[in-house]
Amino acid sequence: MTAIPDPGPQRAEQARAALTALRDEVAKAVVGQHETVTGLVVALLCRGHVLMEGVPGVAKTLLVRSVAAALELDSRRVQFTPDLMPGDVTGSQVYDARTARFEFREGPVFTQLLLADEINRTPPKTQAALLEAMEERQVTVDGRPMALPDPFVVAATQNPVEYEGTYPLPEAQLDRFLLKLVVPLPGREDEVGMLARHAAGFDPGDLAAAGVRPVAGPDDLRAARAAVGATRVAPEVLAYIVDLCRATRQSPSLLLGASPRGATALLRTSRAWAWLSGRDYVAPDDVKALAKATLRHRVALRPEAELEGATSDGVLDGVLASVPVPR
């Protein structure tokens, strides 16, 4: 990957201010869900992908569309269904009778922010069609690689309640997601505010009418990524990240702990969080803030622990409490 040139402190501050304003801009369309918005911004800064889990009706789709509008990014949506084919996602060769040749027609994956709605409702073969795109940021057609736009981020949603007709995501694909964000139900005040907007005529399909406007763009993202890459990480913090991941591998409640790839992911997200928080160095609290979102989908509970009511987040809370914090 080509190194991003240093944008300079003034340009980096402008980018941080623009991305900080993003939360307020998205709030014009989506009430609450600030942590989910921040998670999407972290993923964009880290060139990573996001898996969002939440019950239907918590505005996951609207949130992604609002973030794309506020960042002036091209966005497409794919509704994953049992009959969806790989070519419906990546594109396919189509015969053109006028030229008597096959031509490649790009699929919806050729965008900057792809919303993969209900990704666990399609068979593994179609899920696997995204693997190359997510990891290599390209699609191979007849042996020829075709690059995807930059930035390219997959924001996938899945429903934790409806298991009928779903296909669990394989570990290889789960590992491609930088973050797994749990989208909660809104609090009472947020829900009252949401109903008040709808009573006043709010249309979720018309973001322009809601007042959502671009506050940042691809240039801001490039400047921000360079600044995140320059964020300092002390050796003690690096060791802390490793100790956390190694502790998950030794937990009696976990069948599978976080891999070294999980440790590198936690380093990346901690850096982005530290920079968004206004610092040029990573503190242990930054690691703690992103640990569960970065690792919850990279660990697997033992069956007996599940029967006892344990959760991945609960086990990770225990790990965070047990590993000594560097001073």
CATH of residue 88:
3.40.50.300
Please name the residue that has the structure tokens 């300079």.
8
Overall domain count for the chain: 2
Q: 211 lies in a domain? A: no
Task: Report the chain's mean pLDDT, rounded to a whole number.
Answer: 86
Q: Which domain holds residue 280?
A: 231-322
Tell me, what amino acid is at 15? Answer: A
- One domain, residues 31 and 140: yes
Q: Assign 43 to helix, strand or coil.
A: helix
Last residue of a domain, one of 197, 226, 255: 226
What is this structure's pTM? Answer: 0.87
Q: Is the pLDDT of residue 5 over 70?
A: no
**How do residues 179-222 score in pLDDT, each as one tens digit?**
999 888 888 888 898 888 888 888 777 777 777 888 888 888 88
Distance from C-alpha of 243 to C-alpha of 247, rounded to nearest angstrom: 6
Q: How high is the pLDDT of residue 267?
A: 97
Q: How high is the pLDDT of residue 264?
A: 95
Lowest mean pLDDT among 75-84, 121-130, 191-200: 121-130
- One domain, residues 116 and 180: yes
Average pLDDT value for residue range 34-47: 88
Residue 282 DSSP code: -
Average pLDDT value for residue range 18-39: 83
CA 18 to chain centre: 19
Q: How high is the pLDDT of residue 176?
A: 85
Q: Give the count of beta carbons closer than 10 Å to the beta carbon of residue 85.
A: 13
Angle (CA) 141-143-144 rounded to 5° is 65
- One domain, residues 115 and 33: yes
Q: Is the pLDDT of residue 165 over 70?
A: no
- One domain, residues 238 and 157: no
- One domain, residues 131 and 160: yes
Average pLDDT value for residue range 236-255: 95
